[in-house]
């Protein structure tokens, strides 16, 4: 099993450009999450999904959109990138909310917006 | 205002000694607490958890203690090994909501 994979690993964008980050999991997990990690801030939840076709906002959703068209994939979109979105983005998945927080994380995507 | 705090950004410990990482939270509604470990250029990995109905949970060299009245939890690593050098995140959850602390960077010196 590959677990949770993220594409791409690195990306540099110019202000105003758009991009999509792809997360895939092969563990048949129901829940999927997108976080961003910034120095001194820990991991902050952007959006999450409790099942195929459903999404919900997390702590810091502004400037991002998500889609969960297939159970195994969770896409994070930036429509018009801003320097404040320079960060490391992590995707995670979990079986259910019965053990809340026991999530499996991908390796991360380092995004720089200039 | 951070709901989950890790007031020590870094910690250095000699190999073989005990490492104690601390975490404080502000919301008494949290009912499940976790520790994650993160190596550079990798995603966090789940380490150990504790339910609010318990005050201690052990898994090998790792023990988590919970003091609900003080809204404080700690992770003890005994004995510490160089491979334990990583960033440790404390997290607190209720239902689908999980809040992570800012992390503590542990260095275990051989």
Whether chain B has a CB inside 8 Å of the CB on A29: the answer is no
Q: Report d(CA A33, CA A31) in Å as an integer.
A: 7
CB of B102 closer than 8 Å to CB of B54: no
Using alpha carbons, list the distances in angstroms from residue B39 to A5, A80, B29, B86, B94. Answer: 17, 31, 30, 5, 26
Whether chain B has a CB inside 8 Å of the CB on A10: the answer is no
Asked if A92 and B42 come within 8 Å (Cβ–Cβ), the reply is no
Instruction: Tell me the pLDDT tens digit for each residue of A20-56.
Output: 999 999 999 999 999 999 988 889 999 999 899 999 9
Residue B94: closest C-alpha in chain A: A100
CB of B41 closer than 8 Å to CB of A88: no
Whether chain B has a CB inside 8 Å of the CB on A101: the answer is yes
Instruction: Tell me the pLDDT tens digit for each residue of B46-101.
Output: 999 999 999 999 999 999 999 999 999 999 999 999 999 999 999 998 877 789 99
Q: Which of A29, A40, A43 to mutate to probe the B interface, most B CBs <10 Å? A: A43
Instruction: Tell me the pLDDT tens digit for each residue of A66-89.
Output: 999 999 999 999 999 999 999 999
């Amino acid at each position: 099993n590959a677990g949770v994979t993220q594409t791409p690993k690195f990306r540099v964008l110019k202000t105003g450009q758009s991009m999509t980050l792809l997360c895939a999991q092969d563990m048949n997990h129901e829940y999927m999450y997108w976080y961003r990690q910034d120095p001194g801030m820990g991991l902050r939840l952007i959006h999450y999904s409790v099942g195929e076709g459903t999404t919900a906002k997390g702590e810091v959703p502004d400037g991002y959109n998500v889609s969960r068209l297939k159970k195994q994939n969770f896409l994070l979109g930036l429509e018009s990138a801003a320097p404040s979105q320079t960060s490391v983005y992590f995707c995670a998945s979990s079986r259910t909310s019965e053990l809340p927080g026991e999530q499996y994380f991908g390796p991360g995507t380092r995004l720089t917006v200039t | 205002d951070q709901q989950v705090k890790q007031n020590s950004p870094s910690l250095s410990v000699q190999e073989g000694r005990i490492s104690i990482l601390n975490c404080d939270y502000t919301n008494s509604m949290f009912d499940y607490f976790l520790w994650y470990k993160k190596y550079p250029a990798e995603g966090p990995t789940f380490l150990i958890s504790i339910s609010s109905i318990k005050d201690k949970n052990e898994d090998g060299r790792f023990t988590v203690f919970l003091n609900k009245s003080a809204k404080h939890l700690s992770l003890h690593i005994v004995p510490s090994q160089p491979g334990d050098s990583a960033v440790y995140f404390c997290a607190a959850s209720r239902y689908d909501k999980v809040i992570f602390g800012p992390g503590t960077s542990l260095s275990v010196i051989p």
